[in-house]
Amino acid sequence: MGEFWSTAVINYCIALGVVLGGSMLGGIGAFFGNEPPMDTMLHLSEQLKIWALVAALGGTFDTIKSFEIHILGGELNQVFQQLAFILSAFFGAHFGTILIRWLIQGDL
């Protein structure tokens, strides 16, 4: 597998893990904090989506900086690669949210 694909899969899995793990452990915390666990998990899965994206890409600033460098350097191929990484992280985070919603509400 090429470097591009492996990075895309890793980004996808990181974003998915952040949403799933964050929601699950947040649910446990809610249980100890005398809050409804499932409801808290549902809210957390929505809130963590954007942070999962950021965590998967390793910070937004670096990505934006690389956009600037590659666009100004005329390397559009690299720009599309970065866009693909962002998209894969987004899909991972979104899939995590969908999974949690399905787990709690029983529908997608």
Partner 1 sequence: MKTSTQIQAFRIAVSLALGMMAGLAIMNLLYGEKLDALYLERNNLYYRNNEKFKKIQMLEKDLDKRNDNQYIGQDISVEVQLPENESRFYQDQLRQEVQELMQPFVGKSVHWISDHPEVLDSMLGKRIIQLEGDQTGTHTPKVFHLKLKYLTFVGSKLKIWVIAQEKTGKEKE
Residues that bind partner 1 (CB under 8 A): 24-25, 27-28, 31, 35-39, 41, 103-104
Q: Which is nearer to partner 1, 31 or 61 (CB)?
A: 31
Task: Identify whether the C-beta of residue 52 lies closer than 8 Å to the C-beta of residue 88.
Answer: no
Task: Choose between 28 and 64: whose C-beta lies nearer to partner 1.
Answer: 28
* Minimum CB distance to partner 1 smaller for 20 or for 57: 20
Give the contacts of 41 (CB within 8 A, at least 6 positions apart): 23, 24, 26, 27, 30, 100, 104
Q: Which of the 8 DSSP states describes residue 106?
A: S
**Minimum CB distance to partner 1, residue 24 (Å):** 4
